[in-house]
Structure 1
Amino acid sequence: MYNCLLVDDERLARSELKRLLKAHPQCIIAAEAQSGEEALQQLAHSKIDLVFLDIQMPGLTGLQLAEHIPPGTQFIFCTAFNSFALDAFELNAVDYLLKPIAPERLAKALQKLRPANADAAPHFLAEQHGILLKFGDSQRVVKLNEISRFESIGNHAAVYTPYGKSFIHSSLAKIEQKLDPALFFKASRADIVRISAISQIEPAIADGGLIAVLQDGQQVDVSRRQAQQLKQQFSAF
């Protein structure tokens, strides 16, 4: 059984989705929200297993909301626009449904769901876990606690280590699933940094975000949405 949250600024769209979900008794409509901000409140106070969310909404968009959905909570985008599909799957969406939603497409999307609570206790890589990386003509096993940063570059990710920069064929979303959020911080949609590698935080003049300066001198942009969370990482009281 999945406790579902429906997020769409259009009441008729939510009503249509509720009608379609009647054919799937495993989906229980636990809550509705007409904005991203309202959805965040529902996620904070209700047990939600699955979120259906629109993308184009006033205020917080569906893509922005997805970045704040708790780990283990699955989500499916329901939108009239197909231009955001790549962004959606980079955020690890279960599926991307185009409105008007066809019943058979909804059924296929629900077949992709993990069992509810399957990720209640996520398994993160240990700090001493070794990763085989290529540097020039040689390969080296680098421990996770030696990596200071993962940077998204197309369908690859750059890995920054004391031995130089290497590349792995993986999306940042897949990498994030394996990293303990107590040790690594998602600075933006393009970067994940090891928290203990941050030596300084500076304001970014342009967009109200921050710049995280790492111990090796790298400067990593922190999005405005993530800036407050980064400050909280270093707040003891």
Structure 2
Amino acid sequence: MNCLVIDDEPLATELISSYIERVDWLHLAKCCSNAVEALTYLHSTPADLLFLDIQMPKITGIDLIKSLPVKTKVIFTTAYRDYAIEAFDLDVVDYLLKPITFERFFKAISKVYGFKEPAFQSGAEYKLLHDFNESYIYLRAEREMVKVFLKDILYIESLRDYVRVKTVNGQIISYNKISYLEQKLPETKFKRVHRSFIVPLDQIVTFTPQSIKVSEFTIPIGRNYKNETLKALTKHDIMQS
């Protein structure tokens, strides 16, 4: 994603620029010290995301949004709380108050990431209902999107803000919350059995009240997930038979 940093404070510009450089799917296209310079640039070169200060000379950040040639995603970076309501009325992605930590910055761009990378390709959810063997999901791994067929997944493990997706062909580490994938995967085929694990019901070899075996892997059943998991496993076994 091509990013534009617009701020009249050099230290603030340097900080946001350094944060952008730490994220492999963001690219710093340009830094502008005022809104006029930014608007001139944007009329000839589109950007995907603006990191925009509000209080600037000549034109404020809010006025800049209203003057944009095309609708662009914006994250405000400001020292003032007073404009928050007006900012969100303009449909900005987030409103960051200075001083901005990397953790807060990353939370903001994660919202943009969600907008840019839907879990399923167009039509995939329809396929889930009709042909599970052809259904797939795209996951970002390093700098590329990897196509993963749902039938090949052995388990999904939470690594805090990332997930490990173990498949018959290897594994993928992707920036994703396990709760997000839980919502997107078909509930008739996948079950969250632990706060850190999702398993495909068709891949289960054996299970006990404490654990599940998928291929050669033993997955624990969480105490808070036990009743629902055993109920789902019993129902699935009946349906299969």
Classify the TM-score, shorter chain. 0.3 to 0.5
Q: More helix per residue: 1 or 2?
A: 2
TM-score, structure 2 as length reference = 0.46
Question: Which one has a bigger Cα radius of gyration?
Answer: 2
